[in-house]
Every structure is written in C-alpha cells, then in structure tokens.
Amino acid sequence: MIIREFRPKDLFRVYEIQEISIPNPYNMDILRKLFDFGAGFLVAQVKENIVGYIIFWIVEENRGHIISLAVDPDYKRQKVGSRLINTAIATFLKFDIFIITLEVNAENKEALDFYQSIGFKINKKVSNYYEDGADAYKMSFNFFDGY
C-alpha cells in the first residue's frame, strides 16, 4: 500500500468510497472544489486500486482540521485509515500545526473508537450537526497532550 497525493482522475473512486462509507457524502463537485482550493488530499492505493482517502486543511494559523476520512469496507482493519491519518498528522507537523480537530457522527462507534485510539478526545456533542439531523462529536488531537 502506498499513500500518495490525490489526482483528479481519482475523483470517481473517492466518491464511490465515500458513498458506501459515509451517510452524508460530499458530492463530486464539492470534492473537486476542496482539491482546487488546496486542501490536503491523500489517497491510499493498493496496486492500481484506491482503497481510502483523507481530506484535511489548515483552518487557523495553529489549527488543522480533518474534513473527511473513509476506507473501502473491504480494506478496513488493514491499517489504511491509520496510515492516512498518520500521514496527515505528519503533514500538519511540518507546518507547526499541533492541534487537529474533526467532527464524527455520534452514532459511529467504530469511527469514535478509531479516533480515540489515535489520541483524539471528545470536546463536545453538537445536536443536529448533519443534514439528516444526526448528532456529532467535535474531537481534537493536541500533539503536546501527555508530553
């Protein structure tokens, strides 16, 4: 498996992964705009197949944000998500970004467990965060926690 930068030809596959993995996926136009705006956009590739992706950006001078992370269900539990998020964290650190935030569906125990295993902490619950009315947890990772 390699982690590499997203290429426009990857768009349809990223959208497919999102559609089968996330209840409220971004449409292809939004994904393309995130790339065009300069968001960090990485994919995990096994042979010629894209099996996961992560989108992230710097929201403030000292804070980064994970916009979206998803892995093809056939490749879950194979460290794809871990490799993607660790690469994003390493990228943030190169820019002296030590606090990273994200939102996750409050009902998505698998995602909550994954992010907490990396060191993300729940900050607060936001009611009706998603378009379908689902709640979210705002989470953060502070590189200096515990050091």
> Domain residues of the chain, as ranges?
2-102
Worst-scoring range by mean pLDDT, 24-28, 32-36, 64-68, 143-147? 143-147
| Structure token digits, residue 47 | 């042979």
pLDDT band at 28 (very low <50, low <70, confident <90, very high): confident
CATH number of 2-102: 3.40.630.30
Over residues 49-71, the pLDDT tens digits come to: 999 999 999 887 789 999 999 99
Lowest mean pLDDT segment, chosen from 33-47, 69-83, 111-125:
33-47
- Looking up tokens 């378009």 gives 131
Chain center to CA of 137: 14
Q: Is there a contact between 50 and 10 (Cβ–Cβ < 8 Å)? A: yes
Q: Residue 29: count other Cβ atoms within 10 Å of its Cβ.
A: 9
- Banded pLDDT at 145 (limits 50, 70, 90): low
- How many Å is the Cα radius of gyration of the chain? 15
How many residues does the structure list for the chain?
A: 147
